[in-house]
Amino acid sequence: MIETKRFIDANVLVYAFDKDEARKHPIARKLIERAWNGEENFFISNQVLAEFIKVITQKIRTPYSYELAENILNDFLISSWIIFDYSIKTIVLALQITKKYKLSHWDSILAATMLENNIHEIYTEDEAIGNVPGIKVINPFK
């Protein structure tokens, strides 16, 4: 059986840790617990982790301390999460995606990272990334 590869966007990770988001928190938490429990492999990128850390330490109603955020980041690094980096080649592909599909620069880098790593599904609220051929958006909050 071939397992479907699914990316997790930063917004889903944020909701999994943001307890002030009463409706979205339990949905996101349950989703990412599947990865923590070894039930499913999810993929993220260094970009997703950077966005996640910025939001949980600076933008949510009850921000995490930098020390706790660092501990969470380390948990990702030592867990079974598969984390991709991107290269100059990825940025060139992202520029092409931005031009053709009118995505933000960061969403285009995410899309390019996914395509370069043969990942075609993403859990996210950002449905625009689904305009890129070969990427299917799964919004867990709908």
Contact between 107 and 86 (Cβ < 8 Å): no
Considering just the CA atoms, what is the radius of gyration of the chain in Å?
15
The number of folded domains in the chain is 1
pLDDT tens digit string along 52-89? 999 999 999 999 999 999 999 999 988 888 999 999 99
Q: Is the pLDDT of residue 1 over 70?
A: no
- Tell me what the mean pLDDT of segment 37-53 comes to: 92
pLDDT band, residue 2 (cuts 50/70/90): low
Q: Which residue has the tokens 């706790």?
A: 68
- Residue 1 belongs to some domain of the structure: no
pLDDT tens digit string along 10-27? 999 999 999 999 999 999
- Residue 99 belongs to some domain of the structure: yes
pTM for the predicted model, two decimal places: 0.93
Q: Give the torsion sign (CA, 135, 106, 26, 30).
A: positive
- Residue 109 belongs to some domain of the structure: yes
Domain at 37, CATH number:
3.40.50.1010
Domain range for residue 33? 6-138
